[in-house]
Structure 1
Amino acid sequence: MPRSKSFALSLFVVCLLVGASFAGAASAHAKLVSATPAAGSMATPAPTELKLKFSEGVELKFTGVKVVGPKKDAVATGPATLDPKDNTLLIVPFKAALPDGKYTVDWHVLSTDGHKTKGSYSFQSMQ
């Protein structure tokens, strides 16, 4: 194979590999990795806050959490914060003790790479 064709083929392969790596990074989304209280769990004693761990960093300004209680009413929460050492860990305090019952957590986040994701899970609380 002539040298110029070999170089052109090598350059083409490198471009494909670089493009594929950018495409993989661009398609990433912040997924909920773990939660405290955990999905489907029985929290005893009743939790005082939620901790939501994501697969990548999230933008606090464009992130929200809504918690609905056993009587289908919204649960009062304080302002959400990110762990100062870990922008993948969202902390949402409850303003008051949670009565016994089932709670649903609806969340939405904007990851630091600009992708939006959302989800929902439930847990039980018992004093």
Structure 2
Amino acid sequence: MFRIRTTLAAVAVATVAAIAVAAPASAHDTIVSSTPAADSQLTTAPTEVVLTFSNNLISLDENSGTAMTVADESGEDWVAGEPTITADSVTVPLAEGMPNGAYTVTWQVVSSDGHPTSGEYSFSLAAPEAPAEPSATATESVAPDQSAEPSQTAESAEPAETASWPLLIGLGAVLLVAIVVFIVILVRRRR
């Protein structure tokens, strides 16, 4: 009986320690919205990229760990200035003259827990070519701005990525409980 209690106490301590170590890893801030939104197809070139996170970001004076690039298919970076952090958002201005094509936004910030976190997403630009002569039908055929609808895609895509941490922790806890039950059954059978 003493061995069973000792074993159960040791397993309980190990479980608490595993959960305590895993909890900070899942505490990193995540993107809740982005402009332009992930996987959006724009008809006009954006003037800036704004990422909004689940918590306020840490902003240090120099070498803060906050960085962002907006690269086209050839690898050219279109960021035209330093990132600006305001509470839970980071913004970078973009250069004019962005050509049509796919763009990859790569970012790194310092989470509210003090740890760096990073990621990337893509959007594309398909601006209509300027017609030789302006006409009323050309302005009517321009697609509406799609930033509102695709931002829901960015909101749902990021949390799914971060939702895997609690799932893994839960599965680990269930596995640990199963191992404890197995050990208890073995110990009882030997008696």
Which residue does 1:77 correspond to in 2? 80
CA-based RMSD of the aligned residues comes to 2.2
- Give TM-score scaled by structure 1 length: 0.71
Which residue does 1:115 correspond to in 2? 115
In the alignment, the residues of structure 2 paired with residue 26 and residue 48 of structure 1 have an alpha-carbon distance, to the nearest angstrom, of: 34
Q: Structure 2: which amino acid aligns with 1:47?
A: P
- Correspondence 1:1-127 to 2 at 5 A: 27-60=26-59, 61-83=64-86, 87-127=87-127
Contact 2:49 2:92 in 1 (8 A): yes
Q: 1:40 deviation in Å?
A: 0.4
Gaps of 5+ in 1: 1-15
- Give TM-score scaled by structure 2 length: 0.49
Contact 1:76 1:96 in 2 (8 A): no
In the alignment, the residues of structure 2 paired with residue 26 and residue 68 of structure 1 have an alpha-carbon distance, to the nearest angstrom, of: 29
- % identity of equivalent residues: 40
Q: 1:41 deviation in Å?
A: 0.4
Contact 2:39 2:124 in 1 (8 A): yes
- Map Cα deviations across residues 74-93 of structure 1 (whole Å, 9 max, x no partner): 2232111123xxx1111111
- Map Cα deviations across residues 57-85 of structure 1 (whole Å, 9 max, x no partner): 112322111111122222232111123xx
In the alignment, the residues of structure 2 paired with residue 76 and residue 24 of structure 1 have an alpha-carbon distance, to the nearest angstrom, of: 35
The 3-state SS of whatever aligns with 2:106 is strand
In the alignment, the residues of structure 2 paired with residue 74 and residue 50 of structure 1 have an alpha-carbon distance, to the nearest angstrom, of: 13
The 3-state SS of whatever aligns with 2:102 is strand
The 3-state SS of whatever aligns with 2:88 is strand
Q: 1:103 deviation in Å?
A: 0.2
Q: 1:27 deviation in Å?
A: 4.5
Which has the greater radius of gyration?
A: 2
Q: 1:26 deviation in Å?
A: 7.7
In the alignment, the residues of structure 2 paired with residue 38 and residue 107 of structure 1 have an alpha-carbon distance, to the nearest angstrom, of: 14
Q: Which has the higher helix share?
A: 2
Gaps of 5+ in 2: 1-15, 128-191
